[in-house]
Every structure is written in C-alpha cells, then in structure tokens.
C-alpha cells in the first residue's frame, strides 16, 4: 500500500484506539461525537485495508484482536502527543473553548449544579458542557467523561480530586407529620415512627447517631424507601414520615419552612459521605475548559449548604 493511501487511514486507526479505550461502539461514538454506525463503517474500512480482523464483537462489548492491539500500541503515544500539543496551542491562544463532559448525581445536579451553569456559560461562551445526570457510578474515563461529581467516602488513587464542598446528613419531617405522630426526643423514639430511608442492599435498615462520646444505632422501619434523595424529600413533604437526607436535598424545603429538623442535636454518621468532590482521570495535560469549570464550581459551592 502506498504511503498516501496509508495517510488516509490515520483517522481510522485513531478511532480504533478510541474503541479499545472505551470498550463499546456506543461509548466510542460518544467520545468522537459521531454516530455508532459511522464508527462501525470506519473500522470495517480499516479491516478491509489491512486484510485482517481487528475487532472481535460480543453482545455487550468489543475487544481488539492481537492484530488490532499491535496497530494501536504503535500509534497510541503518537496520538496522545498530538492531542497534548494541539490542546496546548489552542489554550495558549487565550480563549477558553471546547467540550466538557460532566456526570453528576441526579439530586445534586438538578438542585445545585444546573443553576450555576448558565452563569458559567455566559462567562465562557465558547465552552460547551454535556451533563449526564445519573445516580449510577460510571467509570469516568471509559464512559468518556472529563469530570464527575462524586458524593463519596473514597476517591480512586488513579484520579485527581478537588473538594467541592462539605455536606451533612439531616433528619427532616413536616410539622403536620410531627403534630400527628409526636416529635422524637431521642433516637430510640424513632421505633414508633415511619422512617423514610435510602436502602443499602439487603441490610436491615438502621441509623447511627452520635452526640459527644455517646453513639447509638437504632433499627428503623417505614412505609417508603428509595435510592434517590429528591424522592425521599418529596415523600417527607407529603407527610409520610421522617426522612434521612443529605443537606443539599433538604436545604430549600428547610429554608422555606416546609420541612423542619428532627433530632437536630444529634449527628448522623455513616449514611452519606460528608464531602462532595469533582473528580477527573489523571492526565498530564488538562484542557483549560475543564480547569475553569472546576474553579468556577468550587467558588460557587465552597461554602456548602448551611442550614
């Protein structure tokens, strides 16, 4: 094959390396900003040109053959170098631009992230943000994200993390519910209440409280459980019981007096992590668009959700 014919396939080889990194045609297409059928066609053309099978397809994923791995192994570092050089040149031009792919939990994104994005995009009109809102923990790099918001107890050592803000767990209910069921004075009083909770696998639900050196864990029961804090908040607003929530989900309703704190002199532990992070996969070069978004959100959310 002539050198000019090989040059026409350079983009195809890059797409093959992206497919290897992402693991599925869907994820590779999202990363490249094209349709899945276009990725499939380019790789079929590459296989035709090389005369060997480069990709093995299964029902759930794809993997490269030894020939495919050999091809990407030889060019991966070169493409990474080109990408870093291009980003450096573009960033040095002065304007902040580009696409930032961001994923965040549903409740936090809807209540505290999206309200700040309009201001950010007004400041940086050449930046585009693609936000995926999901409570499922995705693999950040493999799923094509530049950043993730994580309300988590631990961050993988292979990632870079910035503390976005602190958060706390709170018990809340409506005044109407407490007037009918009575307000608990001690954690043990929860035994006679409907406790709206976030399920944790097959474990019997229990809440743990601390006050000074005293620590107590109480089993709880209730008419409703869900893995979304907004849904728990809404159930509490409907007078269904006492809900355990992260403060960012309870903040607005508490500020308006629609919900009130319960057992506020006790500290809840182990329910939700006490810090929220912005996380990215490690990379020697970070696009300016990613950095400015990180700095902007940290400035806006640093003080947390004082109740």
Domains and CATH numbers, the chain: 3-91 (1.10.10.10), 96-160+276-301 (3.40.190.10), 169-269 (3.40.190.290)
Q: What is the pLDDT of residue 111?
A: 86
What pLDDT is stored for residue 172 in this prediction? 96
Helix (H, G, I), strand (E, B) or coil at 265: coil
Q: In this predicted structure, what is the pLDDT of residue 254?
A: 94
Place of tokens 């607003």: 237
Can you give the pLDDT at residue 191? 92
Q: Which residue has the higher pLDDT, 300 or 257?
A: 257
Q: What percent of the chain clears pLDDT 70, i.e. is strictly above it?
A: 83
Average pLDDT over residues 223-244: 94
Reported pTM: 0.65
pLDDT recorded at residue 237 = 97
Decide: helix, strand or coil at residue 132. Answer: strand
pLDDT of res. 129: 92
Whether the Cβ atoms of residue 233 and residue 253 lie closer than 8 Å to each other: yes
State the chain's mean pLDDT as an integer: 84
Band of residue 76 on the pLDDT scale cut at 50, 70, 90: low
Is the pLDDT at 65 greater than 90? The verdict is no
pLDDT at 94 over 70: no
Question: 3-state SS string over 269-292?
Answer: ECCCCCEEEEEEECCCCCCHHHHH
């Amino acid at each position: 094959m002539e050198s000019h014919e090989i040059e026409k396939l350079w983009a195809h080889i890059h797409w093959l390396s992206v497919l290897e990194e992402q693991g599925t045609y869907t994820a590779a297409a999202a990363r490249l900003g094209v349709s899945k059928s276009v990725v499939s066609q380019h790789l079929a053309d590459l296989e035709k040109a090389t005369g060997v099978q480069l990709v093995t397809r299964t029902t759930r994923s794809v993997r490269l053959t030894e020939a495919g791995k050999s091809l990407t192994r030889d060019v991966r570092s070169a493409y990474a170098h080109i990408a870093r050089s291009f980003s450096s040149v573009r960033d040095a031009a002065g304007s902040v631009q580009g696409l930032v792919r961001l994923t965040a939990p549903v409740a936090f994104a809807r209540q505290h992230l999206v309200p700040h994005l309009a201001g950010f995009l007004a400041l940086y009109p050449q930046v585009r943000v693609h936000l995926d809102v999901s409570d499922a923990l995705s693999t950040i790099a493999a799923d094509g994200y530049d950043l993730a918001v994580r309300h988590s107890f631990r961050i993988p050592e292979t990632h870079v993390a910035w503390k976005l803000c602190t958060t706390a767990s709170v018990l809340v209910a409506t005044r109407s519910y407490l007037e009918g069921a009575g307000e608990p004075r001690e954690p043990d009083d929860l035994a006679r209440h409907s406790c709206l909770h976030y399920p944790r696998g097959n474990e019997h639900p229990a809440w743990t409280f601390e006050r000074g050196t005293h620590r107590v864990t109480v089993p709880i029961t209730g008419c409703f459980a869900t893995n979304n804090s907004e849904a728990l908040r809404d159930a509490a607003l409907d007078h269904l019981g006492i809900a355990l929530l992260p403060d960012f989900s309870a903040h607005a309703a508490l500020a308006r007096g629609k919900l009130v704190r319960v057992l506020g002199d006790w500290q809840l532990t182990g329910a939700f992590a006490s810090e929220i992070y912005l996380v990215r996969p490690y990379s020697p070069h970070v696009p300016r668009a990613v950095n400015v978004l990180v700095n902007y959100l940290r400035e806006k959310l640093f003080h947390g959700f004082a109740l």
